Structure 1
Amino acid sequence: MSAQLMAALPPERSTYTLPFHTIGVEFAGPFLLKTSTLRRVYHSKAFVCVFVCFSTKAIHQEVCSDLTTGAFKAAFARFVGRRGIPHKIMSDKGKTFIGAQRSLQRELSSFLEEVSSKTTTDYAIHGLIWQFIPPYATHMEGLWEAPAAAVAA
């Protein structure tokens, strides 16, 4: 009689690291938000950007007004201000995430060009790694898809 063997967890989930060292990103929504507390209340759409830590499964949520790259970059800047710069980000290949990844890489390369070579060699700047899952492989995003689904429910 043979038994099914479970595959080992990826190193990002099984090694001890600081919180939010490796994260998964997903959007939840849309939600309707009240724009004021007056009698005639207008509702606007909003989305929640969910950042999930791979080592501790902690969740950080940021509100976004829409699904544009600029709105995601603002949410990511708020996340970095609170939690620090992550080493690795994993997400699906949504247009928002691809645009943000390209924009952040351009900003990092222009920053490195401006900084002198001595400063660059003295202080090692850790680059940000953004890894996309393959298309139509939703089974690979279970860790960060589940909290986004719970937020939407």
Structure 2
Amino acid sequence: MTLAKLQVKFWVPGARRVIKSVKEKCVICKKTDKVRMEQQMGQLPEQRLKPAPAFFNTSLDLFGPMMIRDTVKRRVRSKVYGVIFTCLTSRAAYIDLAEGYDTDSFLSTFRRFVSVRGYPHTIHSDMGTQLTSASKEIRDMTSRWNVTEISKFGSHQGTAWSFNKSADAPWQNGVCEALVKSVKRLLVIAIGENVLSFGELQTVVFEVANLLNERPIGLKPGYDINLGTYLCPNDLLLGRASNKVPNGPMVDTTDVRKRFSLIQSIITSFWRRWMRDYFPTLTVRQKWHTAHRNLKKGDIVLVQDNEMIRGKWKLAQVCQAEPGRDGKIRDVVLRYKNLSSDSIYKGKGDRLINRSVHRLVLLLPVEDQGM
């Protein structure tokens, strides 16, 4: 429209380029359009690219809440929360329930997990003070946790905890988020509107975990029967795709060497197919292919908040920007004024938050602030 009205009386060489450059630098236009920043997708962590025992490198997430009934007083209702553990290498899943809000309830669930699968070497999650979830119940739940106590739990066994750098960035724990979607769908199919007891619901989530572990991972490179069947996490956990009784004659011998050779052949077959079918899919980047300008210290940005009206997003300044392994900045530390409910600043100190660049709108670069 600007170009059309300009050409009524004038002819300006390169007018379209000039108009775009003016609009790109207009702060009011940026606040109106609210186009969020992007950055090239980062590199996968080493834990996902190297063969390792099942659940050696684990990621976890929460979902829910889900309603249960008391086993004695059947009209009494309470809430429980699902906790999903997934192996970063084989994508195997373990699902259990946490009974309450406190740290001890979660640690009880974690202790059941390590009793079955053993202590992981590393655990990655977005829990603790950095969790920002669409579910108010989960946010209240994690606000009561002692993150220090959770992080220290298992450290004597060699387990190290790591958390997402930024809040409200579910893609940083995408291996769990994708499985949570599948778990919720299976629970809706299996339960529907029924309200189960804790034991019944726990049985259902165990069966859902087995169904997830039967799902295929990777892509078989052809239909040749010599390539074997599809690859699934149960091939590593159980030595077969299904939990049914295996077919075929079983070697009935006490020879330790033959038993060791059998187990070793199962594990070797899994990792050979893992390298053939699954590993090539990890090199594909589904989105965020283009590199963009890195945020710099001093940039003025708008912070996207899914629970706020677009016109009331926080105005913040970048105070710390650390690059990743490839030199791209994807997470920054912001500071903003802590306003009251009536949007009036009352002299309180600045607040610091961690956010992903994909949740920010760049308003004024630091190099343009002196103009």
| More strand, by proportion | 1
Letter of the 1:85 partner, please give it: Y
Confirm or deny that 1:22 pairs with 2:68. Answer: no
Shift of 1:138: 2.2
- Deviations 1:33-73 (CA, angstroms, capped at 9, x unpaired): 121277x5322111111111101111101111123211110
Contact 1:28–1:149 (Cα < 8 Å) also in 2: no
* Alignment match, 2:158: 127
Max Rg structure: 2
Confirm or deny that 1:13 pairs with 2:48. Answer: yes
- Deviations 1:78-132 (CA, angstroms, capped at 9, x unpaired): 00000000000000142449956522555667xxxxxxxxxxxxxxx65211111
* Alignment match, 1:103: 149
Structure-2 change in CA distance of 1:106 and 1:93 (3 Å):
closer
Supply the distance in 2 between the matched residues of 1:22 and 1:107 (Cα, whole angstroms): 16
With normalisation by structure 2, the TM-score equals: 0.32
Identity %: 28
Supply the distance in 2 between the matched residues of 1:127 and 1:59 (Cα, whole angstroms): 21
Contact 2:47–2:88 (Cα < 8 Å) also in 1: yes
Confirm or deny that 1:32 pairs with 2:78. Answer: no
Confirm or deny that 1:73 pairs with 2:119. Answer: no
Supply the distance in 1 between the matched residues of 2:106 and 2:176 (Cα, whole angstroms): 16
Over the residues paired in the alignment, what is the CA RMSD in angstroms? Answer: 2.8
3-state SS of 2:55 partner? coil
Contact 2:151–2:161 (Cα < 8 Å) also in 1: no
Contact 1:34–1:44 (Cα < 8 Å) also in 2: yes
Supply the distance in 2 between the matched residues of 1:138 and 1:75 (Cα, whole angstroms): 22
3-state SS of 1:18 partner? coil
Q: Unpaired runs of 5+ in structure 2? A: 1-39, 130-141, 186-371
Shift of 1:8: 4.9
Greater RCO, 1 or 2 (C-alpha within 8 Å, sep 6+): 1
With normalisation by structure 1, the TM-score equals: 0.73
Supply the distance in 1 between the matched residues of 2:165 and 2:54 (Cα, whole angstroms): 25
Q: How many residues align?
A: 133
Supply the distance in 1 between the matched residues of 2:153 and 2:92 (Cα, whole angstroms): 28
Q: Unpaired runs of 5+ in structure 1? A: 110-124
Shift of 1:10: 2.0
